[in-house]
């Protein structure tokens, strides 16, 4: 589904991604872990198409197409979804209207008629129920005055509404209480199927107990320095990142 | 420079000359008192002349661009240049309202539609009302809008003729809004129109006014309107002004409000039409317990210029005022917000709040935002804030990651920004057409 080859990217002339290689296949879930500042959100932003990043080398192929050539909206329309680490507040735009516009823009792109009001409301209700989001919330302005946890839940609600092929969850677990974490993880698990894929960025093993990954990658200083199965996450939980950093340093100096 | 001064003088001298012509057209039954007032106003206009940019009040709005044209007012009375079908499109669908139509400042009996004949509200031309309510007319007319210091008000007062008088007697609460449809018919070149309205809401009364400004035709026009409003004790008055005139329209609108005890004045001033627009909105809070709310939104493109000039004068204690203006400026447009708040020495326990937020869509658009606080009392709560910035990139990106294209995302955010003002309007059908107009304006302009 997605192939990232030797991806290097700068922000303001500072190299943040230093040669990322990653293969994502349909039906699989990938965890990306790594210390603060290692470039996890940067990778997510580059994949979603945020401006201000300069890709200096490498390529990203998504379903046979050069992803980096596409606008953010076209990436979304082709099935890429980013659940933000820090969701933005949009005063004046209700969640309902936002999702209506979003779904219909995607449908228009795919040559479909706008969704009728009845179907839309049913979808809204179903997906709100999936992540146990109070439908009253959907009348509120996007993220305005939401608690940290509510914002994260709203991201997964949107994910459920848009039913993307490739979902990137950037620290969706941070800010969620234990019960909410379970609910959101259950929601995600119900959405998993053999034609979609998830990249789950997290610091904590706990989320991975619920959303069990097929692969775990460790990002350090802009590179994937370790890959393994779900056991790697357990190991990191116990020993931290120091040993990874040490190994990486040795690898670089030798 | 010398050239513009000359042109300005030309317009000034010409219009003063036309006063004779105006007098000839006036009905001989015209009240002597009113006519003395006109002559006095003309004298003041002659002395004052048009303001230039050395005048602090006109620093950001260049009237040379207006007064270089030689405008003419049509004084012939009892003629209406427009047909009903030409103005139908300006009506608000699904709204029960009394509609008072002014064509080039003149009240049109034929085009107006005053359904309410219950004597709960009087809406008519000056001429009619002077017969029934001359005492009230004389008590209030030209008492609030100062023609001695303001040249556009002086000019308007000198030519005050047959616009709208609205009177709500004590205790009457008027459900259906009154629409003042103020049309500039510019089929003839360089049309000058000078509507002059007087609105009285009696004690414990309430009424909603919708002031719609539209243009028919494609020539230059100057709409120099003065509206005086007297809100008596405990009355509530809503005034929604929509400036939707044409590309070649100049608009100098002055609304002077006088508020007595516990009265409440709510206004929204929405501007997206016109070439150069000046919205003067002033309220004198003259009795304790008054509330005064000024909201405004302007959405500009091309070379449009809108100057919102407000004055809230807290003359007595225990009143509150709120001002909330938002602007969207595209292309080469220019916006001005000049918000003056005076808190007089005795006006203790005043609450005054002012906010102006603007979004610039281009590098060539400009906004001049100037709060002016003159506070002479010590026990007051006054706050003001002004911000001018670009559209938020993070918000834009967030919308785009959900499949909404850049243009649509921009419109969505701008719509949300400006609709906060429209949202507060209490007349649903009006709100709906404003939302449509806003959407269309944004679609064209961004
Ligand atoms: N706009 C920017 N300007 C300069 N540096 C930036 C900018 N955005 C990110 N960076 C830097 O890029 C590096 C990677 O940041 P990124 O947000 O990708 O880290 P992360 O792995 O997601 O960290 P965390 O776990 O704390 O979320 C950091 O050192 C950060 O300071
Ligand atoms: Mg991050």
pLDDT at residue B59, rounded to an integer: 93
Residue B122 lies in a domain: yes
Three-state SS for A177? coil
* Ligand that lies nearest to the alpha carbon of residue A37, given by its number in the listed order: 1
* Percent of chain B at pLDDT exceeding 70: 95
Residue B140 lies in a domain: yes
Domain C-terminal end among B287, B311, B346: B287
DSSP assignment of B283-343 equals EEE-STT-EEEEEEEEEE-TT-EEEEEEEEEE-SSS-EEEEEEEEEE-TT-EEEEEEEEEE
Split at pLDDT 50, 70, 90, the class of B78 is low
Domain C-terminal end among B260, B287, B314: B287
Summarised one tens digit per residue, pLDDT across range B418-436 is: 999 999 999 999 999 999 9
Quick check: A92 and B416 CB within 8 A?
A: yes
Single out the residue of A82, A70, A71 nearest to residue A42, CA to CA. A82
Residue A138 lies in a domain: no
B416 touches chain A (CB under 8 A): yes
Give yes or no: residues B131 and B276 share one domain: yes
- Run of H or E residues at B140: helix B126-140
Looking at the structure of chain A, the number of domains it has is 1
* Cβ contacts of A195 within 8 Å, gap of 6 or more: A26, A27, A165
Residue B299 lies in a domain: no
Chain A residues touching residue B409 (CB < 8 angstroms)? 73
Give yes or no: residues B273 and B130 share one domain: yes
Residue A120 lies in a domain: no
Strand pairing class (B72-73; B106-107): unpaired
Looking at the structure of chain B, the number of domains it has is 2
ipTM for this prediction: 0.95
Give yes or no: residues B281 and B399 share one domain: no
pLDDT at residue A240, rounded to an integer: 83
Mean pLDDT of B264-285: 98
Residue B319 lies in a domain: no
Residue B370 lies in a domain: no
Residue A147 lies in a domain: no
Phi, psi of B331 (to 5 degrees): 45, -125
Domain C-terminal end among B221, B252, B287: B287
A12 lines ligand 1 (CB under 6 A): yes
What is the rounded CA–CA span in Å between residue B265 and residue B406? 40
Mean pLDDT of B170-184: 96
Mean pLDDT of A28-33: 96
B398 touches chain A (CB under 8 A): yes
Mean pLDDT of B132-151: 92
- Run of H or E residues at B249: strand B249-259
Residue B353 lies in a domain: no
Question: Is it the case that residue A95 has pLDDT exceeding 90?
Answer: yes
For the domain that residue A26 is a member of, what is the CATH number?
Answer: 3.40.50.300
Mean pLDDT of B177-206: 95
What is the rounded CA–CA span in Å between residue B90 and residue B213? 9
Which residue range(s) make up the domain with B396? Answer: 391-446
How far does residue A219's CA lie from ligand 2's centre (Å)?
11
pLDDT at residue B77, rounded to an integer: 60
Residue nearest to atom 5 of ligand 1 (CA): A11
Residue B175 lies in a domain: yes
Interface of B with A in 109-138 (CB under 8 A): none
Residue B359 lies in a domain: no
What is the rounded CA–CA span in Å between residue A64 and residue A2? 8
Which residue range(s) make up the domain with A71? Answer: 2-90+166-253
Summarised one tens digit per residue, pLDDT across range A184-206 is: 999 999 999 999 999 999 998 88
A48 touches chain B (CB under 8 A): yes
Split at pLDDT 50, 70, 90, the class of B2 is very low
* Percent of chain A at pLDDT exceeding 70: 98
Summarised one tens digit per residue, pLDDT across range B333-382 is: 999 999 999 999 999 999 999 999 999 999 999 999 999 999 999 999 99
Lowest mean pLDDT among A227-231, A235-239, B338-342: A235-239
Give yes or no: residues B47 and B184 share one domain: yes
């Amino acid at each position: 589904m997605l192939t990232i080859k030797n991806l290097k990217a700068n922000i303001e002339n500072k190299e943040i991604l230093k040669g990322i290689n990653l293969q994502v296949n349909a039906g699989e879930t990938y965890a990306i872990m790594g210390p603060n500042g290692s470039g996890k959100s940067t990778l997510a932003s580059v994949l979603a198409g945020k401006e201000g990043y300069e890709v200096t080398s490498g390529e990203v192929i998504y379903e046979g197409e050069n992803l980096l050539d596409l606008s953010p909206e076209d990436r979304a329309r082709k099935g890429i979804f980013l659940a933000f680490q820090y969701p933005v507040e949009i005063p004046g735009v209700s969640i309902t209207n936002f999702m209506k516009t979003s779904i219909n823009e995607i449908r228009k792109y795919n040559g479909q008629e706008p969704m009728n009001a009845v179907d839309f409301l049913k979808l809204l209700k179903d997906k709100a129920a999936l992540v146990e989001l109070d439908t009253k919330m959907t009348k509120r302005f996007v993220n305005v005055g939401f608690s940290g946890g509510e914002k994260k839940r709203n991201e997964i609600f949107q994910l459920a509404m848009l039913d993307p092929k490739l979902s990137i969850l950037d620290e969706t677990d941070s800010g969620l209480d234990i019960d909410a974490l379970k609910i959101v993880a259950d929601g995600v698990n119900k959405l998993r199927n053999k034609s979609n894929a998830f990249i789950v960025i997290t610091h904590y093993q706990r989320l991975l107990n619920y959303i069990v990954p097929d692969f775990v990658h460790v990002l350090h200083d802009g590179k994937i320095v370790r890959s393994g199965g779900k056991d790697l996450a357990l190991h990191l939980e116990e020993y931290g990142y120091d040993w990874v950093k040490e190994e990486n340093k040795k690898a670089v100096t030798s | 420079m010398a050239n513009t001064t000359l042109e300005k003088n030309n317009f000034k001298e010409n219009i003063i000359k036309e006063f004779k012509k105006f007098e000839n057209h006036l009905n001989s039954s015209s009240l002597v008192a009113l006519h003395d007032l006109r002559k006095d106003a003309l004298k003041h206009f002659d002395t004052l002349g048009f303001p230039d940019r050395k005048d602090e009040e006109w620093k950001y709005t260049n009237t040379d661009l207006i007064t270089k044209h030689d405008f003419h007012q049509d004084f012939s009375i009892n003629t209406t240049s427009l047909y009903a079908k030409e103005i139908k499109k300006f009506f608000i669908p699904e709204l029960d309202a009394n509609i008072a139509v002014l064509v080039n400042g003149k009240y049109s009996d034929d085009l107006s539609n005053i359904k309410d004949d219950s004597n709960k509200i009087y809406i008519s031309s000056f001429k009619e009302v002077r017969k029934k309510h001359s005492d009230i007319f004389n008590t209030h007319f030209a008492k609030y809008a100062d023609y001695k210091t303001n040249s556009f008000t002086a000019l308007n007062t000198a030519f005050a003729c047959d616009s709208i008088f609205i009177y709500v007697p004590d205790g009457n609460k008027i459900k259906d809004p009154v629409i003042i449809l103020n049309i500039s018919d510019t089929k003839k070149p360089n049309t000058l129109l000078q509507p002059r309205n007087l609105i009285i809401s009696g004690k414990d009364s309430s009424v909603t006014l919708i002031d719609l400004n539209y243009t028919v035709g494609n020539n230059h026009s100057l709409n120099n309107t003065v509206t005086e409003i007297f809100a008596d004790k405990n009355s509530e008055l809503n005034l929604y002004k929509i400036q939707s005139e044409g590309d070649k329209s100049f608009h100098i609108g002055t609304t002077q409000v006088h508020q007595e005890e516990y009265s409440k004045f709510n206004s929204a001033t929405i501007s997206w039409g016109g070439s150069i627009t000046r919205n003067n909105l002033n309220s004198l809070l003259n009795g304790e317990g008054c509330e005064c709310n000024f909201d405004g939104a302007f959405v500009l493109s091309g070379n449009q210029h809108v100057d919102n000039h407000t004055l809230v004068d807290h003359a007595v204690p225990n009143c509150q005022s709120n001002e909330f203006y938002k602007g969207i400026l595209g292309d080469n447009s220019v916006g001005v917000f000049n918000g003056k708040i005076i808190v007089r020495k005795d006006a203790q326990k005043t609450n005054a709040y002012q906010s102006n937020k603007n979004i610039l869509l281009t590098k060539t658009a400009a906004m001049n935002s100037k709060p002016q606080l003159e506070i002479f009392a010590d026990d007051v709560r006054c706050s003001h804030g002004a911000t001018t910035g670009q559209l938020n990139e993070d918000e834009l990106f967030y919308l785009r990651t959900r499949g909404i294209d850049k243009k649509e995302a921009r419109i969505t955010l701008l719509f949300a920004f400006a609709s906060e003002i429209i949202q507060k309007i209490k007349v649903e059908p009006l709100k709906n057409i404003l939302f449509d107009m806003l959407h269309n304006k944004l679609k064209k302009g961004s």
